[in-house]
A and B are shown apart, each in its own frame.
Chain A
Amino acid sequence: MPVETEILAALDSVDIRPCVTVPCKLLAPLIRALEMVPERELMYVAREEEGLGICAGAYLAGCFPILICQNSGLGNLVNAYCSLNQFFDVPVFFLISHRGTEGERVAAQRPMGRITPALLDIMGVEHFTLANPEQATEIRGHLEAYRTARRSRALLLPHSFWR
């Protein structure tokens, strides 16, 4: 099963909505698949911290939203994560394409790629790397854990996951 089909099935089974995104080339097949499923309420935003605000609002209304973005976008949302999500204890699930990892062709992606796991550590966001496409089956469990524990969680999906 292609990874985007697996991810879509996981999002469906845990009823994750809305799916808020700033796109990435690696995420493009997943985003295309999400566009076909109105129940997942795909929303494109202009900037990642804006997406975090939308996710927070949706959570306050009783939903379990997801932010789907590139790791470069993490730098754009650090203050919002600390002063909104942490301060009010509002969880969010991050599905992050991890650029700058092995196989990266854009040199400018490498510095942010290197600090991404440490950045999530310092933000206090529990994170997991899915290093190969076979691990797509684990995503459902991560989403269920987010819903049940109401705690933030991030999945890092490097180039090797999308091969």
Chain B
Amino acid sequence: MRRFDVIQRVVNLVPAGTPVIANTGDPCKELYCARDRQANFYMLGSLGLASSIALGLAIGLRGRRKVVALDGDGAVLMNMGALTTLARYGRGNVIEVILDNCCYGSTGGQPTATSCACDLAEVARACGIRAVHESRDMASFEKSFLQAVTGNEDTVIVAYVSPETIECDNVALDGPEIRCRFMAALA
């Protein structure tokens, strides 16, 4: 399955107003292309912090709505400690989707550790996350995602995707613009 298709499915399945945080690089562009909306936060820098921003939102919103992070394998490897923090302090409303394409797709496809023996679902479990799902096709992803949306547990879904990227435009918004409309969508 392609990462773009997963991102598109996520953005079409989430309840209106659900914040969605996109990881640095291509995931930002693909989310923008799949469906631009106010509650999308295009995290154009700070590789690794999508799940941390999602947890901060979850804490700030006091668990009132779901928060989705569209993360990547390279990003999770960079900020792996964040999974331990999510397990420790999560309020049951974070959905951390790890789009694992086994490479640093935005920088030329160099292999990450998940291309070898590293298993991020096992990592998430070992960090203390109880709801961990793995998806290799869209039907199973959709089932896991909907379960996370309707459930009350912080959830990690590792979606194994191909390294394929699609042609799409850069996010045509500046930082403060992204932040202002995002905050307006949450208010």
Interface residues of A (CB under 8 A from B): 18, 41, 43-47, 49-63, 65, 79-80, 82-84, 87-90
B183 CB contacts on chain A under 8 angstroms: 60, 62
Known contacts A50-B79, A88-B179; A57/B54 CB under 8 A: yes
Which of A54, A63, A65, A88 lies in contact with B178, CB distance below 8 A?
A: A88
Judging by beta carbons under 8 Å apart, are A50 and B45 in contact?
A: no
A162 to B44, CA, bound (A): 39
Chain A interface SS verdict (over half): helix
7 contacts between A and B (CB under 8 A): A45-B82, A50-B49, A50-B85, A54-B55, A57-B54, A58-B59, A79-B45
A60 to B55, CA, bound (A): 11
Nearest-neighbour CB distance to chain B for A19, whole angstroms, equals: 11
Chain B interface SS verdict (over half): helix
**Considering the complex of A and B, which 9 residue pairs feature the smallest CB-CB distances, nearest first?**
A57-B56, A83-B45, A61-B60, A46-B81, A53-B52, A53-B49, A54-B56, A58-B60, A84-B46
Nearest opposing residue in chain B for A65, CB measure: B56
Which of B56, B88, B89 lies in contact with A61, CB distance below 8 A?
A: B56
Which of B45, B50, B56, B88 lies in contact with A58, CB distance below 8 A?
A: B56
